[in-house]
Structures are given as C-alpha cells and as structure tokens.
C-alpha cells in the first residue's frame, strides 16, 4: 500500500525529509485503504512500514482494525533524491540542476532503480518466507511500489514519473509462486480528488 496524502502546503518534494505527516484527508485515505483490505475478508498476518512518518501514520488504521503492530523495515523506504526540499518545477528549470537529469534511466538524480528493486524484493521475499500463512501488508511509497511493478512485469525501469499508476493509499497486490513474483491486483479504495500529490519523484 502507498501512504495517504501528506500535509505539504509548500508543495516541495519531501523525499526522506522528517516531519512530513499525513494531512487530515491523508488520514481518511489510509483508513479507507485499511477498510478495503479488511473488507476482502482475507487473513492478514503481518504489517510492515517504511520508517518515514507518513507511512507509519498510514499503517495505524491497520493496527486499529486488524490488531497488527507495524514492523519498521528500512528497505521499503523512499529512495534518496537530490531534489528533496525543492519544488520540482523550479528545480528542473534551474540550469545548475541539469547535471542531475542527464541519465534518467538510472536515475541520475537519486538512488538507482536497480537498487530499489533489489531492496524491495529482499523485503517482500523475507516477509513472505516468514509469514505463517495469510496476507502481508507493506506500507511504502510511490516509486518503490511502481518500480517493483515494472520489474515484476518485465518492463523497462526507465519511466515518466507523471505516468505512474500508484495513487495515494492505493493497494498493489503481488503473490509469489515458484520463487517468482507476479502482480495480481491493483485498487484505489480512497477518494483522492483534489489531493496534493507532489512529493515523489
């Protein structure tokens, strides 16, 4: 699951910066996602979350509704990014920043996509192997979820961030068969109309 809307009045790319909490709407989005998962009627046996505030807060409704305490896993955190704290449109127009944009396939502005894939796969696989049956919830961020989707689908990792299918509080589901991951479902249980979603790159 991706976290809910963040309180970000300056509309900066927040990345791994501290003190970016969910907005009131973001809290409702996270609750809607938890209610959606609960409504599936499937057993959920484990809950993991990135250490950042917005993901820990988005995991809270799962604790309330399903009685699971979130295990913090650094491997599902937002990638590093040189544009943290900046407004993306302004940063891209500044010639001083163009050197960070020369190799989008890596990407040259932050943590390489291949490293994100590797750490997400390791976290997912370990959680899968340790689970005593049932489903596992991992509350993460847009880029790690989307890049996992691309990797599992065998698609090119280089992509346009504006075209990701990973809405706030969306739920992307994977299963593992014969040591291979495959995506089995995608849902957007939360109302996101009018939401501010500018913190990811």
DSSP the chain: -B---B--TT----TT-S--PBPHHHHHHHHHHHHHHHHTT--EEEEEE-SSHHHHHHHHHHHHHH--PPEE-GGGSPPPBTTTTS-HHHHHH-GGGGGGGS-TTTTTTBS-HHHHHHHHHHHHHHHHHH--SSEEEEEB-HHHHHHHHHHHHT--S---GGG----TT-EEEEEEETTEEEEEEEE--S--TT----S--
- Give the range among 16-20, 39-43, 101-105 with minimum mean pLDDT: 101-105
Q: What is the mean pLDDT of residues 1-6?
A: 98
Query: Could you tell me the residue ranges of all domains in the chain?
Result: 24-187
pLDDT recorded at residue 198: 85
pLDDT recorded at residue 191: 92
Percentage of the chain beyond pLDDT 90 is: 84
pLDDT at residue 199 greater than cutoff 90: no
Q: Residue 3 has which token pair?
A: 């976290």
Please tell me the distance from the alpha carbon of residue 160 to that of residue 126, in angstroms, as a whole number.
30
Residue 92 exposed, middle or buried by CB count within 10 Å (0-12, 13-18, 19+) = middle
pLDDT at residue 14 greater than cutoff 90: yes
pLDDT recorded at residue 43: 97
pLDDT at residue 97 greater than cutoff 90: no
Q: Residue 25 has which token pair?
A: 């709407």
pLDDT tens column, 136-151: 999 999 999 999 999 9
pLDDT recorded at residue 26: 98
- Domain 24-187: state its class: alpha beta
pLDDT recorded at residue 100: 85
For the chain, give the mean pLDDT: 95
pLDDT tens column, 63-85: 999 999 999 999 999 999 999 99
């Amino acid at each position: 699951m991706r976290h809910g809307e963040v309180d970000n009045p300056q509309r900066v790319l927040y990345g791994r910066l501290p003190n970016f909490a969910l907005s009131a709407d973001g809290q409702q989005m996270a609750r809607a996602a938890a209610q959606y998962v609960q409504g599936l009627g499937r057993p959920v046996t484990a809950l993991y979350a990135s250490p950042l505030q917005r993901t820990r807060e988005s995991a809270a409704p799962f604790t309330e509704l399903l009685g699971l305490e979130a295990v913090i896993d650094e491997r599902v955190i937002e990638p590093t990014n040189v544009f943290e704290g900046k407004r993306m449109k302004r940063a891209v127009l500044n010639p001083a920043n163009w050197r960070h944009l020369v190799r989008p396939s890596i990407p040259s502005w932050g943590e390489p996509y291949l490293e994100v894939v590797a750490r997400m796969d390791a976290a997912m696989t370990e959680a899968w192997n340790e689970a005593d049956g049932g489903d596992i919830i991992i509350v993460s961020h847009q880029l790690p979820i989307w890049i996992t989707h691309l990797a599992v689908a065998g698609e090119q990792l280089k992509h346009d961030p504006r075209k990701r299918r990973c809405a706030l509080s969306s739920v992307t589901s994977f299963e593992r068969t014969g040591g291979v991951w495959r995506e089995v479902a995608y849902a957007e249980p939360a109302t996101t109309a009018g939401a501010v979603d500018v913190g990811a790159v």
